[in-house]
Amino acid sequence: MVEFTGKTLLFAFFAVACTIVANAVKTATVSKDVTGHFRTIAAALASIPDNDEAWEVDIYPGLYVEHLVINRTGPLTLRGHTNCTESKCQPTYKDNAVTIAWNDSATNGTTNEQTSAVWIRTNNFKAYNINFNQTWGDGWYGQGPQAIAVTVDADKVGFYHSGFYGWQDTLYVGD
């Protein structure tokens, strides 16, 4: 029979608590106002070290006009806020309060990937509650060079409750 003392139980609790904290996902917060650590998603991504640690970027409501190249070693999650505030609400892309938009087209030597609002080159990437919008071509109805909302050049990538918008070639899955 094994007998536990108060010190043994305290040590076991401390060891478990340290393991949980060590494996916790680190978070960077983005907000258009002063409530976040960063005001742009690009600034938040630039602050994250390129290592094996899992990171999450929590994005408050707003339109973020940015061209993002996501390229890091460890897992990354972008989590946008939604307008779905009821406790029983099941969010869909229509409830998203976060949009990442960019306006560019494949001209003058620009590659398709470089036109993307978001170019994902990180394995184990997830995006929740974000709308991705390539605004080039608004009013042109897709005439002219290509313009892509999201490019994926990675494995194990998932989009949940996300919307993709553009006039042509909206989602490009590369090599």
54 belongs to a structural domain: yes
* pLDDT, tens digit, 9 for 90 and up, residues 4-23: 565 554 444 444 444 444 45
17 belongs to a structural domain: no
Q: Is the pLDDT confidence value at 154 over 70?
A: yes
143 within 8 A of 137, measured Cβ to Cβ: yes
13 belongs to a structural domain: no
Q: Provide the domain count of the chain.
A: 1
The secondary structure of 51-72 as a DSSP string is SS--EEEEE-SEEEE--EEE--
68 belongs to a structural domain: yes
Model confidence at 66, in pLDDT bands (50, 70, 90)?
very high
32 belongs to a structural domain: no
Residue type at position 11: F
Average pLDDT, integer, range 142-165: 87
CATH of the domain at 159: 2.160.20.10
- Which domain, by its residues, includes 150? 40-173
15 belongs to a structural domain: no
3 belongs to a structural domain: no
* pLDDT, tens digit, 9 for 90 and up, residues 20-58: 444 578 999 999 987 888 999 999 999 999 999 999 999
57 belongs to a structural domain: yes
- Rounded to 5 degrees, what are φ and ψ at 172? -120, 120
* pLDDT, tens digit, 9 for 90 and up, residues 116-150: 899 999 999 999 999 999 988 765 555 667 788 99
